[in-house]
């Protein structure tokens, strides 16, 4: 292993997954689940979880933690402690990613308890986190071999591969490390100047007029991380996502404006006249329901298509009961009995015990029917999430869309069995919260298991470590939610909690029979259309659901990748070499952006972020910093830098 300078070409495919030889071979034993790795893993999980909780509640997004944690872990082990152990570093990054995943799962749902007028306690948050975490980690176990090994080369797992490159490059040194560190520095400086000092906008947008009665906007998240993710996933997936965004922002929004321009009555679910609404308002009030329907349809279609392989995966896992002798270290998972016991435990706790105790409405139980729905939907969407992040990455995982689909059905079920009123709405949010956490954790688990497969870690040890991190970071995430509610109030301008607000609206809408089913079913029709046209449903649905800015940012990275591939298309050996160089650089961009983004979030928590915003604080800079064209020019410079650096052929 010491002579290896980086990942082999087969790490990205071109070989049967069972034949792939990881960076640390299966017959080589190295320390992995050590006291050191567990302690640092817990610390990073708490830090990344807390920072992402604040960021997510404020702006509705989280920052992936696995890649920056991989760099920090390697730096601590190799730089400060003078030891080089890639498997310990992998354990640390996997545990850290659980903190970020848990934050995303909780902030999208659990603050809705407050928005619905009930009391939220730390105990409730911890219980939801543990129950959802158990399902999120362990429901992926029976599917690991299928998703990670059998689909090797087909499911990319961009952030998992980026973390692998970070770990291997930092461990091996040489040109790969220099390339990755160049991307890291570039992404970090870019983020500091844009997100920290505010010298240019991160989300520039331009109005687009489409006749006298209709218009929309075009924008792009010009983030180094999105450009890096776009480069890693490639042009095809980026185009599918952007196609969905085009339908939403240049088709549906102008159509609604055109129709609504002559109406003098508001159309449900909005209470405002369409002719008085801008593109963002129409997207928020109408298009997100369409997108949620498309994501739900994509989820159901994915499950139906994957059902035979799911059955095979479970049979394979069950057939491995008690298998000890002859099993490779890199093939070991936690026993299937753990998976079954975890599901039974979650079902019984959810069904029998009141998870919320409110002075006004008493103890709230989800009940047996609700508990069964939790198990079914957690399995259903955990599988979808674990597969989806293999295509578009954890950062673009439509967790809130899948949670909305879950709430639509669970709330309807609770209403049908006469669990109604405020108690029924709280029960629906708790059930949806457990599922949401399971979805988020499943996506993060799959990414980390991909990294583990590539570098040669032991899945069983990672699965145990990730569950430990989930349980121990729950209190930190919960404390931040409650602290921000006390300081500002959930749902206020300072802490908007956008996803949780939507969840509360969905639950209220069903309980009060006020849900726009036409919009949801229209989205489902788009999903079916994609499947009939042989278009990948979930990337398209994701583009339909999210702002066009995000899809455009990913597309920019995909275009750069396409141009690089075109330049070297006549030389396969050189193409492979430059592709790996570009992926390393893109991995660094993602990592640099994520690390500085978390630092900026910490600055925001302590209240010094506004003092650093020189671009908006200095009067003569404000017009330049506030112009979308400034951001466009700076983004173009970054893209040119990525292209020329990637296409420069290094001398041997």
pLDDT in tens, 384-421: 888 878 877 776 677 877 888 888 888 888 888 887 88
- How far is the C-alpha of 436 from the C-alpha of 105, rounded, in Å? 5
- How far is the C-alpha of 93 from the C-alpha of 74, rounded, in Å? 9
Cα of first residue to Cα of last residue in the chain, in angstroms, is: 21
Query: Crossing angle of helices 421-455/66-74, nearest 10°?
Result: 50
Q: How much is the mean pLDDT over the chain?
A: 84
Cis ω for the linkage preceding 57 (within 30 of 0):
no
pLDDT tens across 249-304, in order? 999 999 999 999 888 998 988 889 999 999 989 998 899 889 878 877 887 786 67
pLDDT of residue 652: 58
Asked, for residue 254, whether it belongs to a domain, the answer is no
Least confident of 3-7, 178-182, 481-485: 3-7
Strand pairing class (356-358; 215-219): unpaired
Share of the chain above pLDDT 90, in %: 35
Q: Taking a C-beta distance cutoff of 8 angstroms, is the pair 365, 373 a contact?
A: no
The answer, as to whether pTM is greater than 0.95, is no
Asked, for residue 112, whether it belongs to a domain, the answer is yes
Asked, for residue 642, whether it belongs to a domain, the answer is yes
* Structure letter (DSSP) for residue 146: I
- Output 576 or 529, whichever has higher pLDDT: 529
pLDDT of residue 396: 66
- Output 616 or 267, whichever has higher pLDDT: 267
Q: Which residues pair with 363 in a beta bridge?
A: 357
- How far is the C-alpha of 299 from the C-alpha of 249, rounded, in Å? 23
For the segment 469-494, the average pLDDT, to the nearest whole number, is 83
- C-alpha R_g of the chain: 24
Q: Given pLDDT bands bounded at 50, 70 and 90, which one contains residue 130?
A: very high
Per-residue exposure over 52-79, b if at least 16 CB sit within 10 Å of its own CB, e if not: bbbbbbbebebbbbbbbbbbbbbebbbe
pLDDT of residue 147: 83
pLDDT of residue 322: 45
The C-alpha angle with vertex 47 and arms to 44 and 53, in degrees rounded to 5, equals 130
Whether 383 shows a pLDDT value over 90: the answer reads no
Q: Where are the beta strands (DSSP E) in 143-253?
A: 205-209, 215-219
Q: Where are the beta strands (DSSP E) in 181-226?
A: 205-209, 215-219
* Structure letter (DSSP) for residue 152: B
- Output 417 or 88, whichever has higher pLDDT: 88
For the segment 615-632, the average pLDDT, to the nearest whole number, is 89
Q: 405 vs 291, 296, 492, 520, CA distance in Å?
A: 10, 6, 25, 9
Asked, for residue 255, whether it belongs to a domain, the answer is no
Asked, for residue 35, whether it belongs to a domain, the answer is yes
Backbone conformation region of residue 173, classed left if phi is above 0, alpha if psi is from -120 to 50, else beta: left
Which residues, at least 6 apart from 456, have a Cβ–Cβ distance to it below 8 Å? 22, 23, 24, 25, 26, 28, 87, 330
Asked, for residue 102, whether it belongs to a domain, the answer is yes
Coil vs helix vs strand at 124 = helix
Q: 462 vs 71, 155, 225, 379, 445, CA distance in Å?
A: 18, 20, 26, 20, 9
pLDDT of residue 326: 43
| Residue 352 domain boundaries | 31-206+281-647
SS3 content of the chain, % helix, strand, coil (to 5): 75, 5, 25
Whether 316 shows a pLDDT value over 60: the answer reads no
pLDDT of residue 324: 47
Asked, for residue 275, whether it belongs to a domain, the answer is no
pLDDT of residue 502: 75
Listed in sequence order, the DSSP H helices in 533-571 are: 537-545, 548-567
For the segment 618-627, the average pLDDT, to the nearest whole number, is 89
Strand pairing class (205-209; 215-219): antiparallel
Please count the structural domains in the chain: 1
pLDDT of residue 79: 67
The number of CA neighbours under 13 Å toward the Cβ of 29 is: 0
Backbone conformation region of residue 229, classed left if phi is above 0, alpha if psi is from -120 to 50, else beta: alpha
The C-alpha angle with vertex 446 and arms to 590 and 499, in degrees rounded to 5, equals 70
For the segment 628-643, the average pLDDT, to the nearest whole number, is 95
The number of CA neighbours under 13 Å toward the Cβ of 215 is: 12
The number of CA neighbours under 13 Å toward the Cβ of 22 is: 30
Asked, for residue 261, whether it belongs to a domain, the answer is no
CB atoms closer than 10 angstroms to residue 41: 29
What are phi and psi for residue 360, nearest 5 degrees? Answer: -80, -40
For the segment 72-84, the average pLDDT, to the nearest whole number, is 74
Pull the structure tokens for residue 289.
């329901």
The sign one gets for the Cα dihedral 17, 19, 23, 28 is positive
């Amino acid at each position: 292993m010491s002579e290896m300078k980086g990942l082999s070409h087969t790490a990205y495919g071109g070989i049967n997954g069972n034949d792939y030889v990881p960076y640390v071979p299966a017959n080589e034993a190295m320390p992995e689940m050590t006291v050191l790795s567990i302690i640092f893993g817990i610390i990073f999980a708490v830090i990344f979880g807390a920072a992402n909780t604040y960021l997510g509640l404020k702006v509705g997004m989280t920052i992936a933690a696995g890649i920056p944690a991989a760099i920090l872990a390697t730096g601590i082990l190799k730089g400060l402690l003078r030891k080089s152990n890639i498997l310990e570093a992998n354990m640390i990054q996997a545990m850290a990613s659980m903190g970020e995943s848990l934050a995303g799962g909780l902030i999208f749902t659990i603050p809705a308890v407050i928005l619905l007028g009930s009391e939220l306690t730390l105990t409730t948050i911890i219980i939801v986190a543990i129950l959802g975490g158990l399902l999120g980690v362990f429901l992926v176990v029976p599917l690991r071999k299928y998703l990670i090994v059998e689909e090797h080369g087909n499911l990319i797992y961009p952030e998992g591969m980026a973390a692998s490159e970070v770990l291997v490059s930092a461990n091996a040194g040489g040109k790969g490390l220099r390339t990755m560190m160049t991307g890291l520095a570039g992404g970090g400086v870019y983020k500091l100047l844009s997100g920290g000092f505010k010298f240019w906008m991160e989300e520039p947008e331009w109005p687009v007029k489409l006749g006298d009665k209709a218009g929309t906007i075009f924008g792009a998240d010009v983030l180094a991380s999105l450009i890096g993710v776009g480069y890693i996933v490639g042009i095809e997936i980026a185009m599918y996502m952007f196609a969905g965004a085009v339908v939403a922002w240049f088709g549906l929004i102008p159509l609604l404006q055109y129709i609504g321009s002559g109406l003098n009555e508001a159309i449900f679910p909005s209470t405002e006249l369409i002719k008085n609404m801008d593109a963002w308002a129409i997207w928020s009030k109408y298009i997100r329901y369409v997108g949620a329907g498309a994501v739900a349809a994509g989820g159901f279609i994915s499950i139906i298509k994957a059902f035979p392989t799911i059955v095979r995966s479970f049979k394979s896992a069950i057939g491995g009961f008690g298998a000890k002798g002859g099993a490779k270290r890199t093939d070991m998972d936690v026993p299937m009995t753990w998976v079954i016991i975890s599901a039974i435990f979650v079902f019984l706790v959810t069904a029998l015990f009141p998870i919320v105790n409110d002075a006004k409405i008493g103890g709230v139980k989800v009940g047996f029917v609700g508990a069964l729905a939790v198990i079914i939907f957690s399995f259903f969407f955990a599988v979808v999430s674990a597969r989806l992040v293999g295509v578009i990455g954890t950062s673009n995982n439509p967790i809130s869309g899948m949670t909305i689909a879950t709430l639509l059905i669970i709330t309807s079920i609770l209403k049908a069995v006469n669990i109604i009123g405020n108690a029924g709405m709280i029960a629906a949010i708790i059930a949806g919260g457990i599922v949401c956490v399971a979805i988020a954790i499943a996506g993060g688990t799959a990414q980390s298991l991909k990294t583990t497969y590539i570098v040669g870690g032991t899945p069983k040890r990672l699965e145990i470590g990730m569950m430990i991190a989930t349980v121990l970071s729950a209190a930190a995430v919960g404390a931040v939610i409650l602290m921000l509610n006390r300081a500002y109030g959930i749902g206020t301008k300072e802490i908007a909690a956008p996803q949780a607000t939507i969840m509360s609206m969905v639950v209220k809408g069903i309980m009060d029979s006020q849900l726009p089913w036409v919009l949801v079913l229209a989205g489902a029709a788009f999903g079916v259309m994609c499947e009939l046209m042989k278009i990948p449903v979930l990337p398209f649905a994701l583009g339909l659901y999210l702002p066009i800015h995000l899809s455009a940012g990913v597309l920019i990275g995909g275009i750069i990748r396409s141009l690089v591939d075109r330049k070297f298309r006549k030389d396969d050996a050189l193409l492979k070499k430059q592709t790996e160089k570009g992926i390393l650089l893109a991995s660094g961009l993602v990592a640099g952006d994520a690390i500085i983004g978390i630092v900026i979030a910490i600055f925001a928590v302590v209240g010094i972020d506004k003092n650093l915003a020189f671009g908006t604080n200095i009067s003569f800079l404000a017009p330049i910093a506030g112009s979308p064209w400034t951001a466009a020019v700076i983004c173009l410079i970054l893209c040119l830098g990525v292209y020329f650096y990637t296409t420069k052929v290094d001398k041997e």
